A and B are shown apart, each in its own frame.
Chain A
Amino acid sequence: MFDDFFVRALFAGIGIAFVTGPLGCFVVWRRLSYFGDTLAHSALLGVTMAYTLDLNIAISVFLISSVIALILIQLQKKTNLPGDALLGLLAHSSLAVGLVVIGFLTFIRFDIMGLLFGDILAVTTDDLLIIWTGGALILLVLKLIWKPLFASTVNYELAEAEGLNPDRAKAIFTILMAAVIAISIKMVGLLLITGMLIIPAAMARNISDSPQKMVIFSIIGGLLSVVLGLYSSLEFNTSSGPSIIAASLALFILSLFKIKQSIKLKN
């Protein structure tokens, strides 16, 4: 069944959507979209490392993104620069260094477009295995830290005062972010991964009145985006990442009508 590249891509995308849905909600709630971008940009370094040392791309991206996240936390403690400046510094310098390193690796042929924007032809059965087992692990861990993470997202001091250990939950969540980027980089591409996290969650926010609903709608939105995006990618021969993200944008725009309706109902 997985002989067909399109079936592989479809299953990969569906696996990714299950994970980006709930994580994306936290990215929106905790205002971490630029943080996600930074990790995603640093993933290019991970990809070059994978090629030079002949490692698995997902594992190497996961390692590099985790390191970048740790560096960021250290820089936040030790410098007086505002958070967004530090994020920008890390995002663009790691992207730049990654591209420079690629320039040196003349003996390897790189599909830069595929790296940046995703490539459905590139998904192998090994990738599928990584996406589904990695994704299941990510969801399991997220379920375990849900309470402290969610409580501290609402109010840090309440969570801390009532003994939920929010700092540990936050650290674990950072690692989960690195992991989700690692498993989705081939499909969505490193420039657009944050879109996959944010846009379905933003769409879900427009049509939900409780956190659980928002997570469910965010997953559904992601699934629809993947299916619609991949079919149009096949149809119009476009890159998979932009097609998926464009589909999620269409869903977001549709969700805006729902807001209009509910505002009308209130008045």
Chain B
Amino acid sequence: MNTENNILVKLYNAGFKQNNKWLVEGVSLTVEKGKIVTLIGPNGSGKSTTAKIALGIYKNIEGNVEKYTNKVGYVPQKISIDWTLPLRVCDFMLLTETISEKDIDEALSLTGVIHLKNKNLGNLSGGEFQRVLIARAISKKPELLVLDEPVQGVDYTGEIALYELIKNISDTLSCGILLISHDLHTVMTATDHVVCLNGHVCCSGSPMDVAKNNEYKALFGEKASQILTVYEHKHDHVHSDEGEIKKN
């Protein structure tokens, strides 16, 4: 197979401006089948915005987005569901695609919430709801999975299990995953490609390369980079406290 056919979504120099302020700019990245691309960066660095650009939620963007698949599963970071809707977990699973009862049960079992199948969505705890969100996204066997902090609010053991599940899904379904995570340890072990954002792409590459990068260290601190290894190299700009870029 040539690599062209493996590309699921490709951002080229993409950016999004809201109220004359760039939320993120100049992002180039590619998600391929069977690969996990992870976005890291501090709060407000444009991770979720980048995910929404890739998904085509934002319409008036700068740069280019090419999406080669419509089989998408999305776990948003924030989701506000209006509880005037009577909605059970099993109704929610069928939200964007009609899938078989068997697939629903399988996905709910994988994320450990099969016992909640007939519960009202409004009665779930934060962590339970998060597991349902993940189950819904994987149940439709997507080609592209976009996970925006998928394990927020999930208990510690569950967190590890869910990350393992995500890795498994990427292997078994050979779907591409765009992951946003704050858990640097997971990021550095399970990812194929890391993009470090701070309003723009600070650095990107394999987890090893990124961990060695000085900007990564500047953003996350020395401790974070020691997760893998320490390596010094020159960088051409620094960030002010407001996140603005200053050339050296």
Contact = CB atoms under 8 A, between A and B. Distances in A.
Contacts of B95: 150-151, 154-155, 158-159
A174 interface: no
A258 interface: no
B74 A154 contact: no
Interface residues of B, number: 27
Interface string B22-58: 0000000000000000000000000000001001110
A163 B144 CA distance: 12
Nearest to B75: A158
Interface in A66-82: none
B86 A214 contact: yes
5 contacts: A154-B92, A161-B72, A211-B86, A211-B87, A212-B91
Given A208-B86, A210-B87, A213-B86, A155 B79 contact: yes
Nearest to B73: A162
A16 B52 CA distance: 41
Given A154-B82, A208-B86, A213-B86, 8 more contacts: A150-B95, A155-B79, A157-B52, A158-B95, A159-B96, A162-B97, A162-B140, A209-B88
Contacts of A155: 76, 79-81, 95
B76 A151 contact: no
Interface in B54-70: 55-57, 70
Contacts of A161: 52, 55-57, 72, 74, 76, 146
Contacts of B88: 209-210
A157 B76 contact: yes
Contacts of B73: 162
A164 interface: yes
Given A29-B84, A209-B86, A210-B87, A160 B57 contact: yes
Nearest to A148: B96
B96 A211 contact: no
A interface SS class: helix
Nearest to B85: A29
A208 B72 CA distance: 31
B58 to A, nearest CB: 9
Contacts of A214: 86
B105 to A, nearest CB: 17
A157 to B, nearest CB: 5
B174 interface: no
A165 to B, nearest CB: 11
**Which of B56, B91, B140 has the most chain A CB within a 10 Å cutoff?**
B91
Given A29-B84, A153-B85, A164-B96, A158 B120 contact: no
A246 to B, nearest CB: 24
A147 interface: yes
Contacts of A186: none
A8 interface: no
A121 interface: no
**Which of A29, A154, A162, A214 has the most chain B CB within a 10 Å cutoff?**
A162
Contacts of B80: 155
Contacts of B96: 147, 151, 158-159, 162, 164
Nearest to A25: B85
B81 to A, nearest CB: 6
A166 to B, nearest CB: 10
A205 B74 contact: no
B72 A211 contact: no
Interface in A127-173: 147, 150-151, 153-155, 157-164
A150 B87 CA distance: 11
A209 B146 CA distance: 30
A163 B72 CA distance: 8
Interface string B87-126: 1100110011110000000000000000000001000000
A155 B83 CA distance: 12
A158 B95 CA distance: 9
A82 B97 CA distance: 34
B86 A158 contact: no
A209 B120 contact: yes
Contacts of A158: 74, 76, 79, 95-96
A118 to B, nearest CB: 28
Nearest to B98: A147
A28 interface: yes
Given A154-B92, A210-B87, A29 B55 contact: no
